[in-house]
Amino acid sequence: MLGAIVIIALFLRFYQLGINPPSLDWDEVSMGYNAYSILQTGADEYGNKFPLSIRSFDDYKPALYTYLTVPFIKIFGLNELAVRVPSAIIGVLSVLAIYFLVKELLQKWDRRYREPIALMSAFFLAISPWHLQFSRAAFEGNIGLFFFITGFLFLLKSLRHGNFFYFSSISFLLSLYSYHSFRLFVPLFLLAFLVVFWKGILNFKKQAVISLAILLLLSFPIWNSFLRTGTGTGARLSMVTIFSDVKVINPSIKRIDYDRNNNDYIGTLFHNRRVAYTLAAAKGYLDHFNPDFLFIHGDGWVQHHAVNVGMLYLWDLPFIVAGIYYLLKKHNRFILILFASFLLFPIPASLTTGTPHPVRAIGMILGFHIFAAVGIVFFWEKIMLLKKIFMRTAIILIILICFMINVAYYFHQYYVHTPIEYGYFWQYGYKEALSYAKENEAKFDRVIMTYFYDQPYIYYLFYNKIDPLWYQRNWDYNKNGETDRFKRVIGKYTFKNIEYSKDINLGKTLLIGTPDEIPDSAHILKIIKFPDGKTAFKIVET
Point out the domain boundary residue: 419, 444, 461: 419
265 and 128, same structural domain? no
CB 226, CB 234: distance < 8 Å: yes
| pLDDT per residue as tens, the chain (542 positions) | 999 999 999 999 999 999 999 999 999 999 999 999 999 999 999 999 999 999 999 999 999 999 999 999 999 999 999 999 999 999 999 999 999 999 999 998 888 899 999 999 999 999 999 999 999 999 999 999 999 999 999 999 999 999 999 999 999 999 999 999 999 999 999 999 999 999 999 999 999 999 999 999 999 999 887 776 666 666 666 678 888 877 888 887 787 778 777 777 777 777 788 888 999 999 999 999 999 999 999 998 999 999 999 999 999 999 999 999 999 998 899 999 999 999 999 999 999 999 999 999 999 999 999 999 999 999 999 998 888 889 999 999 999 999 999 999 999 999 999 999 999 999 999 999 999 999 999 999 999 999 999 999 999 999 999 999 999 999 998 888 888 889 999 999 999 999 999 999 998 999 999 999 999 999 899 999 999 999 999 999 98
Give the C-alpha separation, 514 to 142, whole Å: 33
pLDDT score of 263: 74
Q: Is residue 424 part of a domain?
A: no
Residue 59 one-letter amino acid:
D
257 and 221, same structural domain? no
87 and 12, same structural domain? yes
Helix (H, G, I), strand (E, B) or coil at 354: coil
Of residues 288, 44, 336, the one with CA closest to residue 181: 288
389 alpha carbon, distance to own chain's centre: 46
Contacts of 524 (CB under 8 A, 6+ apart): 518, 538, 539, 540
Q: How far is CA 501 from CA 147, 511, 522, in A?
A: 53, 12, 11
Q: What total number of domains does the chain contain?
A: 3
Q: Is residue 350 part of a domain?
A: yes
pLDDT score of 261: 76
Q: How far is CA 295 from CA 9, 91, 266, 290, 308, in A?
A: 21, 21, 42, 9, 10
DSSP per-residue string spanning 285-349: HHHTT-HIIIIIS--S-GGGS-TT--SS-TTHHHHHHHHHHHHHHT--HHHHHHHHHHHHTHHHH
pLDDT score of 232: 60
Point out the domain boundary residue: 419, 440, 465: 419
Residue 71 one-letter amino acid:
P
Q: How far is CA 532 from CA 124, 406, 425, 472, 497, in A?
A: 32, 25, 12, 37, 24
Give the C-alpha separation, 170 to 480, whole Å: 39
246 and 233, same structural domain? no
53 and 110, same structural domain? yes
Q: Is residue 472 part of a domain?
A: yes
325 and 247, same structural domain? no
CB 168, CB 211: distance < 8 Å: yes
**Own/partner pairs for 112-117, CB < 8 Å, 24+ apart?**
113/377, 113/378, 116/373, 116/377, 117/370, 117/373, 117/374, 117/377
Give the C-alpha separation, 210 to 218, whole Å: 12
Q: Is residue 88 part of a domain?
A: yes
DSSP per-residue string spanning 98-117: HHHHHHHHTTTS-HHHHHHH
414 and 441, same structural domain? no
Q: Is residue 501 part of a domain?
A: yes
306 and 251, same structural domain? no
512 and 396, same structural domain? no
Using only the alpha carbons of the chain, give its radius of gyration: 26
Of residues 214, 122, 504, the one with CA closest to residue 513: 504
Provide the 8-state DSSP code for 271: S
403 and 436, same structural domain? no
Contacts of 253 (CB under 8 A, 6+ apart): 271
Provide the 8-state DSSP code for 241: B
415 and 472, same structural domain? no
**In the sheet that 493-495 helps form, which strands lie side by side, from edge to edge?**
488-490, 493-495, 446-449, 509-513, 535-541, 524-529
496 alpha carbon, distance to own chain's centre: 28
Give the C-alpha separation, 503 to 496, whole Å: 11
Range of the domain at 117: 2-239+288-419
**Own/partner pairs for 264-273, CB < 8 Å, 24+ apart?**
273/249
213 and 323, same structural domain? yes
Of residues 191, 202, 136, 78, the one with CA closest to residue 415: 136
DSSP per-residue string spanning 25-54: -HHHHHHHHHHHHHHHHSB-TT--BS-SEE
Point out the domain boundary residue: 397, 419, 441: 419
CA atoms 484, 490, 492, 493: torsion sign:
negative
Residue 57 one-letter amino acid:
F
Q: Is residue 531 part of a domain?
A: yes
Give the C-alpha separation, 390 to 539, whole Å: 66
Q: What is the pTM of this model?
A: 0.94
Helix (H, G, I), strand (E, B) or coil at 484: strand
pLDDT score of 93: 99
Helix (H, G, I), strand (E, B) or coil at 263: coil
Reported as type and span, the H/E element at residue 81 is: helix 80-105
Bond prior to 71 in cis (omega within 30° of 0)? no
Q: Is residue 319 part of a domain?
A: yes
**Own/partner pairs for 65-74, CB < 8 Å, 24+ apart?**
65/31, 65/138, 65/140, 65/143, 65/178, 66/31, 66/34, 66/35, 66/38, 67/35, 67/38, 68/143, 69/31, 69/32, 69/35, 69/138, 70/35, 70/38, 70/39, 73/32, 73/35, 73/36, 73/39, 74/39
Burial classification of residue 229, based on how many CB atoms lie within 10 Å of its CB (0-12 exposed, 13-18 middle, 19 or more buried): middle
